[in-house]
Amino acid sequence: MQETNLRIRLYGDPVLRKKAVKVKEVTDSHREILKKMAQLMYEASGIGLAAPQVGISESMIVVDCGSGLYKLINPKVVKKEGWQVLQEGCLSVPGVCIKVKRARKVLVKAQDEYGNHVEIEAEDLLACVLQHEIEHLTGKLIVDYASFFEKLKMADKLKELKKRSKDERLSESKDKSCQLQL
């Protein structure tokens, strides 16, 4: 696994649309990435973050809705019950909020940061956040839930985010090319 510069990637970054690969063996490197993801999530005042959002296409998420930090590897929703509609934001799509219909209760199976199998029964906000972050692992974003009219209203904002994302990627590639010059 190659560690990239851990920064929150913005809408328009291709990594956000890539399907994350399953982690075959949990290593110290994965634990370090999860630790850094949690720090970044807290610094950004978020309650969830998926590895693709920091440029890593591996199946890992961190979540903390106030009841404790979950560091999950290869999470999968295996059971859903009921429905709820909540207004959701996303650290990768700042300034955009969308009403999303999700299951009110879920059962998630995953591995913890040590490779142990875990099951999490979640309701309400925690269920919503887990579903949101797990969808990031498939390349799905909250903007995909927006109606045609909502997309029209936020078109300028999304265009601005795409430009910022492109500028950040260009700046990052220039920084890397300069590291070899003397």
pLDDT tens digits along 47-84: 999 999 999 999 999 999 998 999 999 999 999 999 99
What's the token pair of residue 145?
Answer: 């839930």
Please provide the DSSP assignment of 41-98 as one string: HHHTT-SEEEGGGGT--BSEEEE-SSS--EEEEEEEEEEEES-EEEEE--TTSTT--E
Helices and strands: H and E segment counts in the chain: 4, 7
Q: Which of the residues 32, 133, 150, 168 is marked catalytic?
A: 133
The pLDDT value given to residue 169: 83
- Cβ atoms < 10 Å from Cβ of 163: 12
pTM for the model stands at: 0.91
Helix (H, G, I), strand (E, B) or coil at 135: helix
**Angle, vertex CA 62, rays to CA 6 and CA 168, nearest 5:** 25
Of the candidates 163, 159, 167, the one whose C-alpha atom is nearest the C-alpha of residue 96 is 159
The tally of CA atoms less than 13 A away on the side-chain side of residue 123 is 1
pLDDT in tens, the chain (182 residues): 444 469 999 999 999 999 999 999 999 999 999 999 999 999 999 999 999 999 999 999 999 999 899 999 999 999 999 999 999 999 999 999 999 999 999 999 999 999 999 999 999 999 999 999 999 999 999 999 999 999 999 999 999 999 999 998 888 766 554 444 33
Query: Is the CATH code 3.90.45.10 the one for domain 14-177?
Result: yes
Q: How far apart are CA 141 and CA 77, in angstroms?
A: 17
Residues in the chain: 182
Quick check: is 43 catalytic?
Answer: no
